[in-house]
Amino acid sequence: MAFFEPDKFFMRISHIDIERDLLSLGLKHALLDIDNTILTRDTRELPRDVAVWLGRARDAGITFCLVSNSTQEQTMQELSERLDIPVVLRSMKPLPQGYLRGMRILGGTKEDTVMIGDQMATDIVGAHLVGMKAYMVAPLVGVDLPHTVILRWMERVMLGDQTPEPLTPATQQMLDEA
Ligand SMILES: [Mg+2]
């Protein structure tokens, strides 16, 4: 497994096919990055397709834990309560502790848990350090913190010609109905 290579790459979290990309691969738990993966960084909104996807995945038996490096702990705590999804604050990604805590909360293992996030240097590398799968998504909005801009440039270089997974008919239908 290449450290800097996500196991799969998607345009948005809602493009992950719950059957093809999770259940059929034995993945039952997902650790979720927050900023720009499920919440827009600029307006702090949960896009409708993301909310619908989270609901569908939960209906299918997937459990979630938010794993955040954010310093806005109040906001993250409120989000956790609103979504009814536990949160690991001050996770210090890419260090392993946050991933391990999230896995423990969910009762998962590194074989049946996947990290989903938009940043190579934190979300993806950290998951691979722990030995779990990592799915990368394109950031929801193009507004990033200054230090992230440099990391984005590195990501483009490292992702190379890796292209997003195509939408499956089932996922397309879910999005059309959302
Ligand atoms: Mg992020």
112 C-alpha to ligand 1 centroid (Å): 22
Q: What Rg do the C-alpha atoms of the chain give, in angstroms?
A: 15
Q: Is residue 2 part of a domain?
A: no
Indicate which CATH number applies to the domain containing 40.
Answer: 3.40.50.1000
Spacing, Cα 119 to ligand 1 middle (Å): 6
Task: Note whether residue 174 is domain-resident.
Answer: no
Question: Across residues 63-74, what is the average pLDDT?
Answer: 93
Containing domain of residue 15, as a range?
A: 8-167
- Tell me the CA–centroid distance for residue 35 and ligand 1, in Å: 4
Instruction: Report yes or no on 177 lying in a domain.
Output: no
Q: How close is the Cα of 12 to the center of ligand 1, in Å?
A: 12
Q: Are 24 and 177 in contact (CB under 8 A)?
A: no
| C-alpha 38 to ligand 1 mean position (Å) | 8
- Enter the tokens of residue 38: 């499920």
Contact criterion met (CB below 8 Å) for 18 and 57: yes
pLDDT tens, residue by residue, 107-138:
999 999 999 999 998 999 999 999 999 999 98
Instruction: Convert the pLDDT of each residue in 12-53 to its tens digit.
Output: 999 999 999 999 999 999 999 999 999 998 778 899 999 999
How many domains, in total, are found in the chain?
Answer: 1
* Per-residue model confidence as pLDDT tens digits over 76-105: 999 999 999 999 999 999 999 999 999 999
DSSP one-letter string for 49-95: HHHHHHHHHHHTT-EEEEE---S-HHHHHHHHHHHT--EE-S--TTS
Ligand 1 center to 174 CA (angstroms): 24
